[in-house]
Amino acid sequence: MIDFKAVIAEEMAKATNIEKEELQQWIEIPKDTNNGDYAFPCFKLAKTLKKAPPAIATEIKEKLKIEQNVITKIEIAGGYLNFFVNKMTKTKELVKKIANQEQYGKSDFGKGKNIIVEYSAPNIAKPFHIGHLRTTGIGQALYNIYQYLGFHTTSINHLGDYGTQFGKMIEGYKKWGKEYTFDEHPIDDMLAIYVRINDLCKEYENVLNACRENFKKLEEGDSYCLEIWNKFKTLSLKEFQRIYDMLGTTFDSWNGEAFYSDKMPEVIELLEKSGHLTESNGAKIVDLEDQGIKTPCMIVKSNGSTTYDTRDLAAILYRARTYDFDKCIYVVACEQDLHFRQIFAAAKYLGLQEKYLNGLEHVSYGMVRLKSGKMSTREGTLIKLEDLLNESIARVKKIIEEKNPELENAEEVAKKVGIGAVVFHNLSTNRIKDQIFDWDEVLNFQGETGPYIQYTYVRIKSVLEKVGTLSKPEEINIEKLQDEYSLKLIDILYHFEEILKQVIEKNEPSILARYLIDLSKAFSTFYNENKIIGEDKPLQEARTYLTYMTGKVLKQGSKLIGMEMPDKM
Ligand code: ARG
């Protein structure tokens, strides 16, 4: 496919003697199509060329020699150079590309680069709640998209399976384990024990000390403590897996915090060697004042136990060595912004290559609140993600029963739509913003939602079915697709790969979610304004082909963000 941006940059480079790469990064896609398909802001060159933007625009325009079958027109507007691409060429290219590529937009753009995406990371023996949806969904989408663009990707579920709280759990289990079956709702049982022991710890110092002692024993490999800990872990993972299956979440590695238990002595040694490990009230800390962070990193507690921070430092070391990462992305809530600033700062004292330090990136995100205000962070009153997903499925089932009682496979469709709605909503807003979860919005089939995209796809399927045959791409009469609505659709389809690149540049899957909405809307307009099936056979064939291409991109894009498409709904 012609990379119009690259062609423009190349020709501009010849006209200005400025590097092509530099020019290309400034080329924009104007919001208003009256300003062309691509625009170059000439003020970017004002300093280098020591001229005013309009003068630069005029000068470059005169020197530019771009073939008519690529760019039909160049206009100057307010210091911008606006480029109008040849729509026939664009359409032809798009058809050829989508026809020839099994997975449109897939590339080897990231070849040779290793990317780690860490996401989900729930805590063992605790509920998997709606807060976990954000990390799990954003992380999986990023993983899928990096992989699609040819990066070598590794996903890691850094389970919270270690720490003082397990000392507490063990103590609670010793006291009351027999009262619970851990059968039907094992996580509820474990949580109940945790709440009970926590309350007791608040009252009795000696209980708290026993808990701390348990964790120390666990770290030392005590077989009884290990056995209970293993039981908790196995029970929890089985519960989590049910949710991962619903969401289509996968991991290449399940190395959680406990995995680093034997890898921490080296961290302590390295920090000591660097001269940055200091004593403070019997604990060992790394002071970060000179990096502008007031709170130090806690490495070893006064009772000799290691910490969450230490395990994260060990993980950085291990990941650098094992995966030789170019980027190590942590999809973790904004509550932990400080934690990541701390460990990234402390990591500088581990003697790692600059490359690894620069590759560490915290992809932060805001909180979710239910519109009803029911979401409380107090222990035990969280909304469980599984309940939320099941409720969504049940609501969709009801809608189907009302609107389309004849629908075959209603159960399966309700699952895809119910889960898809939640998955899509989760990714639909800028990740750093807090999110309000409102059923009326999430399940609005006419709104900017997952079901709306799915519904568009189903309509596409039914058009294709009605027409029955799809012409060969080389037989399509491109001239039949030069009306306003077809061209709008073609424009959006053309930008798919560019959109994927924007997603990974900002680690922001909402860009793709937004794109899928725009694509669905453009299709709806095209569909309402243009009769697809009719007397004019070449016209019908061309429009059918455009419909087919739209369906293909909608499905592929949705798959990348973790939303499945029903065939009917
Ligand atoms: N388990 C932690 C929690 O639930 C999140 C872990 C984040 N990842 C990390 N490498 N620290 O809060």
Per DSSP bridges, beta strands 327-333 and 114-118 are: parallel
The fold of 114-369 is Rossmann fold (3.40.50)
Least confident of 237-241, 308-312, 436-440, 470-474: 436-440
User: Which ligand 1 atom sits nearest the alpha carbon of residue 335?
Assistant: 12
270 alpha carbon to ligand 1 midpoint, in Å? 23
SS3 105: coil
For residues 419 and 412, the answer to whether their CB atoms sit within 8 Å is no
d(CA 332, CA 132): 9
Work out the average pLDDT over 91-95: 95
> How is residue 74 written in tokens?
């160049």
Would you state the pLDDT for residue 375?
53
Q: Is 330 in the pocket of ligand 1 (CB under 6 A)?
A: yes
SS3 468: coil
505 alpha carbon to ligand 1 midpoint, in Å? 23
Would you state the pLDDT for residue 443?
92
Residue 160: half-sphere exposure toward Cβ, Cα within 13 Å = 19
Domain boundaries, the chain: 4-85, 114-369, 385-561
241 — pLDDT class (breaks 50, 70, 90): very high
Work out the average pLDDT over 79-102: 93
d(CA 449, CA 447): 5
pLDDT digits 0-9 by tens, 490-527: 999 999 999 999 999 999 999 999 999 999 999 999 99
In what side-by-side order are the strands of the sheet with 297-300?
277-280, 283-286, 297-300
380 — pLDDT class (breaks 50, 70, 90): very low
23 alpha carbon to ligand 1 midpoint, in Å? 40
Q: Is 158 in the pocket of ligand 1 (CB under 6 A)?
A: yes
pLDDT digits 0-9 by tens, 143-178: 999 999 999 999 999 999 998 889 999 999 999 999
Higher pLDDT, 481 or 48: 481
pLDDT digits 0-9 by tens, 551-560: 999 999 999 9
User: Which ligand 1 atom sits nearest the alpha carbon of residue 315?
Assistant: 10
Q: Is 130 in the pocket of ligand 1 (CB under 6 A)?
A: no
**Burial level of 386, CB count in 10 A (0-12/13-18/19+)?**
middle
Work out the average pLDDT over 136-140: 98
pLDDT digits 0-9 by tens, 457-470: 999 999 999 999 99
Pocket test for ligand 1, best of 233, 336, 337, 340 (most atoms within 8 A of CB): 336
**Terminal CA-CA length for the chain:** 34
317-354 per-residue burial string, b: 16 or more CB within 10 A, e: under 16 = bbbbeebebbbbbbbbeeeeeebbbbbbbbbebbebee
Query: In terms of CATH, what superfamily is 385-561?
Result: Isoleucyl-tRNA Synthetase; Domain 1 (1.10.730.10)
Q: Which residue is it, tokens 């402390």?
A: 346
Q: How far is CA 429 from the centre of its chain?
A: 11
> How is residue 331 written in tokens?
């999809």
User: Which ligand 1 atom sits nearest the alpha carbon of residue 159?
Assistant: 1
Q: Would the pTM count as exceeding 0.85? A: yes
Would you state the pLDDT for residue 1?
81
Amino acid at 527: Y
304 — pLDDT class (breaks 50, 70, 90): confident
The fold of 4-85 is Gyrase A; domain 2 (3.30.1360)
User: Which ligand 1 atom sits nearest the alpha carbon of residue 332?
Assistant: 7
d(CA 237, CA 255): 13
pLDDT digits 0-9 by tens, 22-32: 999 999 999 88
